[in-house]
Chains A and B, each alone.
Chain A
Amino acid sequence: MRISKHITVVASLAIMVSGVIVGGFNTVSGASATKTISVMYWTNFDNPGTNAIPKLINAAAAQLAKQYPGAKVVLDPITTSSESTYYAKIDLAQRSAATAPDVVMEDSFLIGSDASAGFIQAIPKIKSWSGWQHFPAAMQNVVTYNGKVYGVVNSTDVQLAYYNAKLFREAGIAVPWQPHSFADIVTASKALAKHDKGIVPAWLYTGTPLGEASSFRGFEVFLDGTNDRLYNSATKKWEISGPGFTATWNFLAAMRPYTEPESDWSNPNGSSTVNLNLMPANQVGIVFDGSWVSTAYVKAGPKPDPSFFTNFKEARFPTNGTGGYTNQSGGFAWSLSSRAGNSKLGLAMIEDMSSAGNIATFDAADGNIPPRTDATTQQQWAAINKVDPVLTFATNQLAVTNYRPNLPQYPQISTEIATLTGDISAGSMTAAQAETAFAAKVTQIVGASHVVRMTK
């Protein structure tokens, strides 16, 4: 019978499809009883062993219970193998009321994207909260999309060029070191490579396995040192090429012989490799990384090591010869899910988690920079700055920092950048090819009428 034949074929297909599809859709149990709210967060964000987020949630939950007797908070921890998996998981969870949390920890660059998807809801009442005025305009802007506020930032950072003073001296490079152009970085990396072939001269985040970090601190922060930008908020155009882009792509290609091997950057846990293995073993010369790295090595940190602070020093991110310095900041935020079972309690919980005291305790434990000004005057923040002077140096960089475009197209463009940085590192693309491919990809994503080529 022909039907029987077809059933056999369909059965074969179904075996395949079930295997293909099931892997992607995980569900997370949510809690939406009237007085019970859930908070979904990324466990990997915490410095290992600090449990700073659970402590923050529990502290805020206790305060919430005093304001709203009977209110309970359920922790909804998500542990993943990469950042992008966390982003996918929270978005998939928020597609259904059965799995959506009330409050969710969002990477600030996804705020616009998740707001436009309808996953998180605007929280206009936050503007009447007494704490809101303590967040500087820049910190309010990163959670604002289309004129509406979608979250409260709980942490921010800057990028630093950590350099190993011991290796620098041995390689004959003057210390303290402060590059003033891309060429200065290449020159130092070359000298380090010549001095010791067994070390990684420079660690530069690159390729898709390291996700957003490759785009953010492997490309964009360097582009910020030129006159070009990813997105021009005045003209509302995406910049796709120009002298700054050329200089940045060329810089990445020039650095290729001196950066970490593919075995390191193709590992999604590459940041642990460099932060917790290569740096304390003095096996890396320069590391372009977030300002939180040093906190792991303070006395009460997960990997106490006083020698870290004598071996590693910090340099500012240079502009490419135009004078001054640059930087780029990120950060995570607490947002209210559109499918929250109890939005009122959820908003109150966000406010409690964002109090000056709670933010100071949380950011001190995880080595972040507090996003609200009055948190930096708290005793907890002063205490961590005494033992980790890098944080004071980092906080001073906020004056020259930049933020990512908070637009729905950014996550996809960021992924394309990460892919191209990996192509350069793998040697499968030249700088010129990457520049051409980037322009084509961005044009394809946002449309030809929304892009511009810079000429100077």
Chain B
Amino acid sequence: MVAPLIVFILAFIGWPIIWTMILSFTNMTITGPTATHFQFIGFANYRQLFSSGSGLVQSIFLSLYYLVASAYIGQALFGFALAYLMLSCSMRVRKTVGSIIIICWLVPEIIAAWMWFAMLSDGGTLQQGLHAVGLPYQTWLISHPMISVSLANSWRGVAFSFLLFSAALSDVPAELLDAAKVDGAHTWRRLRSIILPLLATTILIDFVLITLGTLNDFTLIFAMTGGGPGTASNVLSVFMYQQAFSTFQLAYGTAIAVVLLVIGAIFSVIYIRTLRRRGALNFVR
């Protein structure tokens, strides 16, 4: 049973990683003589990438900003708040709100990007609406590009965290909460001392999945801002694409991909180790 699994992993999962790493040590380009006759150039791509003015530091910062703002705050925190507040709502409200949130999730990413672009761009829906009531609007896609893309990603991705937390909250024993209430525990205390500890594993699993999804996100940002204005929303994935396919430095782009890979791996290892300590992930002994 193990042999086919290893072959599968090496062929379909391991090879893209290995090939990406190999390319990052070459001078392969999209066009020009090195497009087909590339050479190994050691760490030259990495030296260039980690030299001042390469744009890497800014891109890492923007990727982390996007992760915290759109994944941890916009999706996890807001998703949890929605799921928690819905506990005390009527079934009709829960069904209506739940359906709306899930519809946001079902919208394909490129369409979601276009909808948000149409809303926030110069002359867009938001500007028209505010103009109608006499309020000024400074084009957010230009003045606040990172907030704009973070909002859009939160809108699109909150359903996943919401569903995960809704399912976990329904498993919290009602008698436990009732007993705490009888003992005089207020809402905040019940949340802090009972609900959050019981949901810790769910929260970590949510973090693992939304972290990887958000760090790798490309479509939404590229379609809404193209990484701009200037480089104001040039997260790592867009930075990588631009270097590889717009400036034709394919190998340099793969070096950026490797940096992205390492950052994602660091987050993954931290979360997976924490989960294992909590006894979750039984398949990892």
> Which of B14, B225, B244, B248 gathers the greatest number of chain A CB atoms within 10 Å?
B248
- A interface, size bucket: 35 or more
Residues of A within 8 A of B230 (CB): 207, 262, 266, 422, 426, 428
Residues of B within 8 A of A82 (CB): 246
Residues of B within 8 A of A116 (CB): 32-33
The reply to whether A24 and B241 contact each other, CB–CB distance below 8 Å, is yes
The reply to whether B17 and A263 contact each other, CB–CB distance below 8 Å, is no
The reply to whether B226 and A12 contact each other, CB–CB distance below 8 Å, is no
Number of residues from B at the complex interface, CB < 8 A? 51
Interface string of B28-50 (1 = CB under 8 A from A): 01111101100000000000000
Alpha-carbon gap, A84 to B268, bound state (A): 35
A16, A87, A207, A428: the one within 8 Å of B216 (CB): A16
A4, A17, A266: the one within 8 Å of B17 (CB): A17
The reply to whether B32 and A113 contact each other, CB–CB distance below 8 Å, is yes
A4, A9, A18, A408: the one within 8 Å of B265 (CB): A9
CB-CB under 8 A for A262 and B226, given A4-B284, A17-B17, A85-B245: no
Residues of B within 8 A of A409 (CB): 32
Residues of B within 8 A of A5 (CB): 284
A11, A17, A88, A422: the one within 8 Å of B30 (CB): A88
Q: Closest approach, in angstroms, between the C-beta of A164 and any C-beta of chain B? A: 21
Residues of B within 8 A of A263 (CB): 122, 139, 141-142, 229
B13, B142, B257: the one within 8 Å of A10 (CB): B13
Residues of B within 8 A of A88 (CB): 30, 245-246, 248
Alpha-carbon gap, A12 to B284, bound state (A): 13
Interface string of B239-259 (1 = CB under 8 A from A): 011101111110001000100
Q: Closest approach, in angstroms, between the C-beta of B215 and any C-beta of chain A? A: 7
The reply to whether B261 and A262 contact each other, CB–CB distance below 8 Å, is no
CB-CB under 8 A for A10 and B9, given A21-B20, A113-B31, A118-B36: yes
Alpha-carbon gap, A412 to B285, bound state (A): 50
The reply to whether B212 and A91 contact each other, CB–CB distance below 8 Å, is no
B33, B122, B226, B260: the one within 8 Å of A16 (CB): B260
Q: Closest approach, in angstroms, between the C-beta of A65 and any C-beta of chain B? A: 33
Alpha-carbon gap, A7 to B17, bound state (A): 13
The reply to whether B247 and A13 contact each other, CB–CB distance below 8 Å, is no
CB-CB under 8 A for A91 and B31, given A9-B272, A16-B212, A84-B246: yes
A1, A16, A426: the one within 8 Å of B285 (CB): A1
**Contact of B87 with A by CB under 8 A:** no
Alpha-carbon gap, A17 to B260, bound state (A): 9
The reply to whether A117 and B32 contact each other, CB–CB distance below 8 Å, is yes
The reply to whether A20 and B240 contact each other, CB–CB distance below 8 Å, is yes
The reply to whether B35 and A20 contact each other, CB–CB distance below 8 Å, is no
Alpha-carbon gap, A396 to B225, bound state (A): 40
CB-CB under 8 A for A21 and B269, given A113-B31, A268-B226: no
The reply to whether B30 and A209 contact each other, CB–CB distance below 8 Å, is no
Q: Closest approach, in angstroms, between the C-beta of A252 and any C-beta of chain B? A: 15
CB-CB under 8 A for A411 and B246, given A13-B265, A21-B16, A21-B20: no
CB-CB under 8 A for A10 and B284, given A85-B246, A87-B31, A266-B230: no
The reply to whether B36 and A24 contact each other, CB–CB distance below 8 Å, is no
CB-CB under 8 A for A16 and B261, given A9-B272, A88-B30, A209-B228: yes
B13, B122, B240: the one within 8 Å of A14 (CB): B13
Residues of A within 8 A of B14 (CB): 10, 14
Interface string of A390-419 (1 = CB under 8 A from B): 000000000000000000110110010000
**Contact of A114 with B by CB under 8 A:** yes
**Contact of B26 with A by CB under 8 A:** no
Interface string of B208-222 (1 = CB under 8 A from A): 100010011011000
Alpha-carbon gap, A409 to B248, bound state (A): 11
- Interface members, chain B 172-226 (any A CB < 8 Å): 208, 212, 215-216, 218-219, 225-226
**Contact of B264 with A by CB under 8 A:** yes
- Interface members, chain A 298-352 (any B CB < 8 Å): none
Residues of A within 8 A of B9 (CB): 7, 10-11, 14
Residues of B within 8 A of A117 (CB): 29, 31-33, 35-36
**Contact of B237 with A by CB under 8 A:** yes
Residues of A within 8 A of B281 (CB): 8
- Interface members, chain A 101-146 (any B CB < 8 Å): 110, 113-114, 116-119
Residues of A within 8 A of B228 (CB): 209, 262, 266
Residues of B within 8 A of A4 (CB): 283-285
CB-CB under 8 A for A262 and B216, given A13-B17, A23-B241: no
Q: Closest approach, in angstroms, between the C-beta of A104 and any C-beta of chain B? A: 12
Q: List 16 A-B contacts (CB under 8 A).
A: A12-B212, A20-B216, A20-B260, A24-B253, A85-B246, A87-B31, A88-B30, A91-B30, A91-B35, A95-B36, A117-B29, A117-B33, A118-B36, A267-B226, A409-B32, A415-B248
